[in-house]
C-alpha cells in the first residue's frame, strides 16, 4: 500500500519513501482532474455545495499527497526524494494552472457571485468565492492562445527555479566546513557553543568522541553555529572568513544563484505584463492588505526616518567600546556582532550563556502552553506516539478547549539537522479545519525550528532569541488551530492576506517580555531555580538594544525586494547599492551576495512582500498595546482581552478582511506608534 494514497488526515510520514511519490502524484492528479471535469460539466445551477464543496474535497487529496511530499522535501531532504520531487513538480504546477484557468469553473464562480443565492451566503463563504475569482485572474484566466501558453510556461519555469534556488542554498550551506583544532581558534566561545561544535565534529567524523574543552570543533554556516561564532569568537580573522563565506553562499560554481535571480525577476516581470500590471509588485499587492506600493513605501519611509539616527548612534557606541578595548579604527561587518554582544553584556550585566540554562525547551513549551491557557482558554497536551513522524525528535501535541474537547493538533520538529533540513523556522499546514456533509476535520499544523539539539545528558538549552522564535511560530500555529471558520478556503491562515499573516506570530513574541510569563518558564534545568527578577528587568531593558540597526536591516530587505519587483528590468547590484546607501550603517562588501541565499523572496512566498514583516509588526505591536492598556498584571482583564483577540484575530482567519478584523478587535485602524515605542524609537 502506498502510504500517500490512504486518504488519512495525518500522513504516515515514517512510511513515505521516494519510490511512493511518482505513483501517488500521478493518481492524485488523475483523481483531481476527473473530479474537476465532473464539476465543470454539472448542468445544475452553480451552488456552494456543488462547486466549492466539491473543489474542497479534490483539494484535500492534493494536500494529503503533495503537502506531505513538499514537507518531507525540506525536513528530510535527501538525494532520492529531491529527484522525484523535482520530477513531479511540473505536473503539480500544471494541475494548479488547469484548475485556476478553467473557464468553466470561473463561470460557475461568477454565477454564484452574481446569482440569487449570493445573498444567502455568509461573510466567509463570500470571501472564499471572491478569493477564488481573484486567484483565477492572477493565474491568467483571461489569457488565451499564445499568451496563455506562455504564461503557463513561465509558471512552470518559476516553480523549477525556486526549487533549484533552495537546493543550491541548502547545498552551499552544507558544503562549508572548517575544522578548528587550536584552542586559540575557539577562544571566547562559551561552553555551550564549544559543546555544540565538538559534537558536530564527532557526528561527521566517527568514531571520534566529542571533546568540548580541547576540540576539534567543526565550524559550519548553520545558523546556530554561525551566530555563536560571530558573537563570541575572539579570532577576528576567522570571523572575517566565516562572514565572507556566509554572505557569498550560493554565488559561485555550480550552485551559483546569480543567474537564477535575474531569470526569476525577468519571468515575474513578464508574468505581470501578461496579466496587465505595470510590474510584479502590483501583482503581489493585488492580494494583500496594503492598498498599493505607495502605501507600503510610505510606511517603510516612516520607519526608516525613525531608525536612521538611532542606528548611527548605536554603531558609534559599539565602535567606542571596541576602540577602548584595543581594536583601533572603524568596525568591519565581522566585528559588529562581536562588539555589540560585548556592549550588551556590559550595559545589561548578563550573557546569553548565563540565560541558556534557564531556558530548556521543555520548560519553554510548558510556559508557552500555560500562557495560551490563561489568555485563550485552551489546553495543550503531549500526545507523542499517537501520530507518525518523520524523525525520532519530532513531537506531537493535541489542543483542547475549556470543555476538554479536542479542537486541533500539531507536530513540533525543534532541532537543527543541517545534513538534510532547511534552516530557519516556519509553520505549515497538515490539515485545514473543515465541516461539510460527511466531513468534520480538525486543523493540524507543523511547527519547524532549528534549535540546538540536546547534548549528552543536557537538554536543548535555548538562547533568548530562540525562545522568541518558538513563541513566534506558535503564534502562526494558534491562528491555524483556533479558527472557528469551517471553510478551508478561509479557515485559519488560509485566505489571510500575506502582509497580515504575521500578526499573531509577532504578537506572541511580546509575551517573552511579560514578567509572569517569562519567570514562569525560566527555571534552571539543574537546580530548578527561577531566573532572578533583576535579570528579567535587564532582559526587558535590553529589548530596544540596537533597535535602530535591526530596524534598518529589515528595511533593507523589504526595500530591496520591493525595488527589484517594481522595475521592469532591474539592475540587481545597482538596486542593492541604492537601498544600502540609505539603510546600511556600514556599506556592504563589494563581494556581498546575500541575495543569492535570500530564499524568502526568490524561492518562497515573500516576493514583493518582504515588507509584510514590518507591516504586520505594526499590527501586532498595536494589538499587544490593547493588553497593556487592560493591565498586564490583571489576570481577569487579560483573559477578557485574550478572549476578544481569540474571537477576532485567531478565530476569523481569512473569512473577513484583516483591516476589518483589526478594527473589530482594536476599535480603530492600526498605528505604528506602539511599534516605535516598544523599540525605543518613538520621539516624544
216 cis-preceded (ω within 30 degrees of 0): yes
User: Could you tell me the CA-to-CA distances from 482 to 174, 512, 625, 641 in Å, in that order?
Assistant: 37, 21, 22, 16
Place of cell 559588529: 336
Place of cell 548612534: 313
Q: Identify any residues that bridge with 429 across adjacent strands, giving them in sequence order.
A: 445
DSSP 551-609: HHHHHHHHHHHHHHHHSSS--HHHHHHHHHHHH-SSPPPTT--GGGG-HHHHTSS-TTT
CA distance 329 to 56: 62
3-state secondary structure 87-155: HHHHHHHHHHHHHHCCHHHHHHHHHHHHCHHHHHCCHHHHHHHHHHHHHHHHCCCCCCHHHHHHHHHHH
Closest among 367, 370, 380 to 468, alpha carbons compared: 367
CA distance 235 to 238: 6
CA distance 150 to 132: 22
Q: Decide: residue 117, CB within 10 A, 0-12 exposed, 13-18 middle, 19+ buried.
A: middle
Closest among 286, 282, 264, 263 to 273, alpha carbons compared: 282
CA distance 256 to 595: 11
Q: Report the half-sphere exposure of 381 (CA within 13 A, side-chain side).
A: 9
How many CB atoms neighbour CB 627 within 10 A?
20
User: Could you tell me the CA-to-CA distances from 672 to 96, 452, 610, 632, 681 in Å, in that order?
Assistant: 38, 34, 17, 21, 11
How many CB atoms neighbour CB 358 within 10 A?
25
Length of the chain: 684
Active-site amino acid positions = 473
CA distance 5 to 81: 17
User: Could you tell me the CA-to-CA distances from 211 to 120, 201, 208, 229, 417 in Å, in that order?
Assistant: 69, 9, 9, 18, 20
CB < 8 Å & 24+ apart, contacts of 466-469? 466/359, 467/359, 467/364, 467/512, 468/509, 468/512, 469/425
Q: Decide: residue 482, CB within 10 A, 0-12 exposed, 13-18 middle, 19+ buried.
A: buried
Check: CB of residue 216 under 8 Å from CB of residue 198.
yes
CA distance 628 to 642: 12
3-state secondary structure 40-87: HHCCCCCCHHHHHHHHHHHHHHHHHHHHHHHHHHHHCCCHHHHHHHHH
Q: 630: which 3 cell numbers? A: 487592560
CA distance 381 to 402: 13
466: left (phi over 0), alpha (psi -120 to 50) or beta: alpha
Check: CB of residue 655 under 8 Å from CB of residue 483.
no
Amino acid at each position: 500500500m502506498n502510504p500517500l494514497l490512504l486518504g488519512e488526515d495525518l500522513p504516515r510520514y515514517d512510511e513515505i519513501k521516494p519510490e511512493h511519490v511518482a505513483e501517488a502524484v500521478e493518481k492524485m492528479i488523475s483523481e483531481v482532474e476527473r473530479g474537476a471535469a465532473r464539476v465543470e460539466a454539472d448542468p445544475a445551477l452553480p451552488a456552494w455545495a456543488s462547486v466549492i464543496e466539491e473543489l474542497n474535497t479534490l483539494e484535500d487529496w492534493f494536500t494529503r499527497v503533495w503537502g506531505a511530499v513538499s514537507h518531507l522535501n525540506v525536513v528530510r531532504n535527501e538525494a532520492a526524494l529531491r529527484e522525484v520531487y523535482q520530477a513531479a513538480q511540473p505536473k503539480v504546477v500544471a494541475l494548479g494552472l488547469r484548475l485556476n484557468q478553467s473557464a468553466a469553473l470561473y463561470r460557475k464562480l461568477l454565477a454564484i457571485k452574481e446569482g440569487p443565492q449570493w445573498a444567502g451566503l455568509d461573510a466567509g463563504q463570500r470571501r472564499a468565492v471572491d478569493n477564488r475569482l481573484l486567484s483565477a485572474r492572477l493565474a491568467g484566466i483571461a489569457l488565451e492562445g499564445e499568451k496563455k501558453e506562455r504564461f503557463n510556461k513561465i509558471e512552470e519555469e518559476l516553480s523549477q527555479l525556486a526549487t533549484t534556488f533552495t537546493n543550491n542554498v541548502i547545498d552551499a550551506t552544507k558544503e562549508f566546513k572548517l575544522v578548528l583544532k587550536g584552542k586559540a581558534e575557539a577562544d571566547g566561545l562559551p561552553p555551550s557553543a564549544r559543546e555544540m561544535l565538538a559534537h558536530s565534529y564527532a557526528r561527521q567524523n566517527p568514531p571520534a568522541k566529542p571533546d568540548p574543552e580541547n576540540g576539534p570543533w567543526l565550524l559550519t554556516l548553520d545558523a546556530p553555529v554561525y551566530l555563536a561564532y560571530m558573537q563570541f569568537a575572539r579570532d577576528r580573522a576567522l570571523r572575517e572568513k566565516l562572514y565572507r563565506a556566509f554572505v557569498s553562499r550560493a554565488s559561485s560554481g555550480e550552485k551559483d544563484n546569480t543567474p537564477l535571480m535575474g531569470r526569476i525577476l525577468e519571468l515575474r516581470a513578464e508574468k505581470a505584463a501578461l496579466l496587465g500590471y505595470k510590474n510584479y509588485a502590483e501583482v503581489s499587492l493585488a492580494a494583500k492588505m496594503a492598498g498599493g506600493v505607495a502605501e507600503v513605501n510610505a510606511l517603510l519611509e516612516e520607519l526608516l526616518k525613525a531608525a536612521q539616527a538611532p542606528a548611527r548612534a548605536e554603531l558609534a557606541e559599539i565602535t567606542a567600546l571596541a576602540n577602548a578595548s584595543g581594536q583601533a579604527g572603524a568596525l568591519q561587518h565581522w566585528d559588529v556582532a562581536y562588539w555589540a554582544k560585548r556592549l550588551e553584556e556590559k550595559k545589561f550585566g548578563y550573557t546569553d550563556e548565563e540565560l541558556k540554562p534557564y531556558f530548556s525547551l521543555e520548560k519553554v513549551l510548558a510556559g508557552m502552553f500555560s500562557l495560551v491557557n490563561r489568555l485563550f482558554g485552551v489546553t495543550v497536551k503531549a500526545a507523542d506516539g499517537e501520530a507518525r513522524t518523520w524523525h525520532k525528535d519530532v513531537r506531537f501535541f493535541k489542543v483542547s478547549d475549556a470543555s476538554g474537547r479536542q479542537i486541533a493538533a500539531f507536530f513540533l520538529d525543534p532541532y537543527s539537522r543541517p545534513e538534510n533540513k532547511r534552516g530557519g523556522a516556519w509553520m505549515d499546514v497538515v490539515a485545514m479545519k473543515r465541516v461539510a456533509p460527511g466531513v468534520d476535520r480538525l486543523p493540524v499544523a507543523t511547527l519547524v525550528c532549528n534549535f540546538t539539539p540536546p547534548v549528552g545528558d543536557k537538554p536543548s538549552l535555548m538562547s533568548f532569541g530562540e525562545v522568541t522564535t518558538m513563541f513566534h511560530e506558535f503564534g502562526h500555529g494558534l491562528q491555524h488551530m483556533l479558527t472557528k471558520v469551517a471553510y478551508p478556503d478561509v479557515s485559519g491562515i488560509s485566505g489571510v492576506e500575506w502582509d497580515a499573516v504575521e500578526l499573531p506570530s509577532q504578537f506572541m513574541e511580546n509575551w517573552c517580555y511579560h514578567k509572569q510569563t517569562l519567570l514562569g518558564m525560566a527555571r534552571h534545568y539543574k537546580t530548578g531555580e527561577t531566573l532572578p527578577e533583576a535579570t528579567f528587568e535587564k532582559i526587558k531593558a535590553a529589548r530596544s538594544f540596537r533597535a535602530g540597526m535591526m530596524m534598518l536591516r529589515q528595511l533593507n530587505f523589504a526595500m530591496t525586494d520591493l525595488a527589484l519587483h517594481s522595475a521592469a528590468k532591474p539592475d540587481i547590484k545597482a538596486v542593492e547599492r541604492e537601498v544600502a546607501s540609505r539603510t546600511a550603517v556600514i556599506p556592504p562588501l563589494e563581494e556581498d551576495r546575500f541575495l543569492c541565499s535570500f530564499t524568502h523572496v526568490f524561492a518562497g512566498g515573500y516576493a514583493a512582500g518582504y515588507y509584510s514583516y514590518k507591516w504586520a509588526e505594526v499590527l501586532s505591536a498595536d494589538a499587544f498595546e490593547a493588553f497593556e492598556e487592560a493591565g498586564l498584571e490583571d489576570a481577569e482583564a487579560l483573559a477578557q482581552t485574550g478572549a476578544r483577540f481569540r474571537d477576532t484575530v485567531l478565530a476569523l482567519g481569512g473569512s473577513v478582511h484583516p483591516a476589518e478584523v483589526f478594527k473589530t478587535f482594536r476599535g480603530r485602524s492600526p498605528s505604528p506608534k506602539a511599534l516605535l515605542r516598544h523599540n525605543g524609537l518613538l520621539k516624544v
